[in-house]
Amino acid sequence: MSDYGLLVIGSGPAGVGAAQAYVQAGGRGPVAIVTADIDAPYMRPPLSKEVLAGSSPAERTPIDGDLPDEVEVRLGASVTSVDLDARTVTAGGDTLSFDRLVLGTGAKNVPLPGVDADAETFSLRSLDDARRLVTAAEHARTAVVVGSGFIGCEAAASLARRGVEVTLVTSEAGPQVTRLGEFAGARITEWLVTLGVQVRTGVHVTGIAAPRTVHLDDGTTLAPDLVLVAVGVAPAAGDLLASTGLQLHQGRVVADEYLGAAPGVWVAGDAARALNAAAGRPIPVEHWGDAEAMGALAGSNAAAADGNQVAWDGVPGFWSEIGEHVLQYWAWGDGHEREEVVARTGGFTIWYADADDVVVGVLTYRADDDYERGIGLIAAAATLTEALAGRRVDEEDDEAQG
């Protein structure tokens, strides 16, 4: 049995951030990351963009550089059990003991119903997925992408830039309409169509037959050379953690504002449903940068478990590159009641507000100033009127300190 001061489950941004921060904060070692992934920790965002477009090779790019020498990474080690009473984890057939544990188990792709067992479809969640997908794309003339989330839109654009004839199929009224609204959905559609992507909205895939025959509920049948399924993700460790005594909510581990889920246990990233101190309510997130930041906080809190803890109060956000177009987004992520579009030459800003006209999100395209001040306005619960009037929370903070 191995003994670790900190054991981290998951080698994504949450896990890596936790291990790095724990070591930097002087946490008691040794430290280990266990992961089912076969590759050492790597950046995932480029996979649906530069890698799939063919402008970068399908190779590993370390997350913020290599891990400290003090961190052991156990690759290809699927975790089969977690015993919080015994303080042990079984991974890759080995039993590992720990003093402190960080759960950074991430998310898994949601399967598409009605896919034949022998149908040839691809997903994009790991570097190994990307290698297989790129190999297929190199020999494909046509492709169908199922799903209009950010991965689906980014992948459709990247395949089109590679020269593949792409059809994007979505049950939404437009790409990202459910989350971002009709204006943003229309702009994303324009960008995709300009790249040559055929966007088919409001249709459901009723089945995919071998080898690659896609049946739609409008009676259409598509037979592309490549099928990519990108219909969303779900927390990866719900089944694994169900018997641990941890409180779960829709597969996510419930945590306090310090990301603590139980004595000596912290959670970060997609696996967490943690209380956000600024929002004043639990906020689930599925974004790379947030997972990295939450992981760093969990790791530093684990190192200072007997001392002062730091609360999680960051506003979730992400960037998405659809071809040459970059969208920037800050939002609590649990919905909005109203949106206000501010158009500008070559760009736009969309402010999202709740029923009380409090700003709960902002989406920008070529509007960096709104993006930079938007995070402060969301955290400060500013009104939509204040956002449209140009209020800047950072300037107010500077004046108060002066």
Q: Are 373 and 285 within one domain?
A: no
Instruction: Give the CB-side neighbour count of residue 42, counting CA atoms within 13 A.
Output: 19
CB–CB of 230/152 below 8 Å? yes
d(CA 242, CA 247): 8
Q: Does 322 reside within a domain? A: no
Q: What pLDDT does residue 178 have? A: 92
Which tens digits make up the pLDDT trace of 92-146?
999 999 999 999 999 999 999 999 999 999 999 999 999 999 999 999 999 999 9
Which tens digits make up the pLDDT trace of 310-335?
999 999 999 999 999 999 999 999 89
Confidence check: pLDDT of 398 > 50: no
Q: Which residues of 8-34 are buried (b: 16+ CB within 10 A; e: fewer)?
A: bbbbbbbbbbbbbbbbeeebebebbbb
Confidence check: pLDDT of 309 > 70: yes
Q: Dihedral sign, CA of 125, 181, 193, 50? A: negative
Residue among 110, 132, 130 nearest 47 (CA): 130
Confidence of residue 66 (pLDDT cuts 50, 70, 90): confident
Q: Are 147 and 214 within one domain?
A: yes
Q: Does 174 reside within a domain? A: yes
Confidence check: pLDDT of 64 > 90: no
Mean pLDDT score, 50-56? 96
Q: What pLDDT does residue 400 have? A: 46
Q: Are 94 and 120 within one domain?
A: no
Q: Does 67 reside within a domain? A: yes
Q: Are 176 and 132 within one domain?
A: yes
Q: Dihedral sign, CA of 188, 194, 197, 201? A: positive
CB–CB of 100/6 below 8 Å? yes
What is the average pLDDT value for the chain, to the nearest integer? 95
Q: Are 186 and 152 within one domain?
A: yes
Q: Does 321 reside within a domain? A: no
Q: Are 117 and 172 within one domain?
A: yes
Q: Are 171 and 187 within one domain?
A: yes
Q: Does 313 reside within a domain? A: no
Q: Does 327 reside within a domain? A: no
Q: What pLDDT does residue 401 have? A: 41
Q: Does 286 reside within a domain? A: yes
Mean pLDDT score, 346-362? 97
Q: What pLDDT does residue 378 have? A: 98
Q: Are 178 and 239 within one domain?
A: no
Q: What pLDDT does residue 115 have? A: 97
Which tens digits make up the pLDDT trace of 20-45?
999 999 999 899 999 999 999 999 99
Question: Which residue segment(s) compose the domain that 384 sits in?
Answer: 335-401
Confidence check: pLDDT of 237 > 80: yes
State the pairing for strand pair 94-103/88-91: antiparallel
Contact partners, residue 307, CB within 8 Å, separation at least 6: none
Q: What pLDDT does residue 1 have? A: 62
Q: Are 286 and 257 within one domain?
A: yes
Q: Are 217 and 276 within one domain?
A: no
Q: Are 102 and 251 within one domain?
A: yes
pTM: 0.94
d(CA 349, CA 393): 18
Number of domains present in the structure of the chain: 3
231, 247, 275 - which closes a domain: 231
Q: Are 289 and 339 within one domain?
A: no
Question: Where residue 217 sits, what CATH number does that domain have?
Answer: 3.50.50.60
Q: Dihedral sign, CA of 172, 176, 177, 183? A: negative
Mean pLDDT score, 3-15? 96
Confidence check: pLDDT of 395 > 70: no
Contact partners, residue 198, CB within 8 Å, separation at least 6: 165, 166, 167, 168
Which letter does DSSP use for residue 115 in this model?
B
Q: Does 314 reside within a domain? A: no
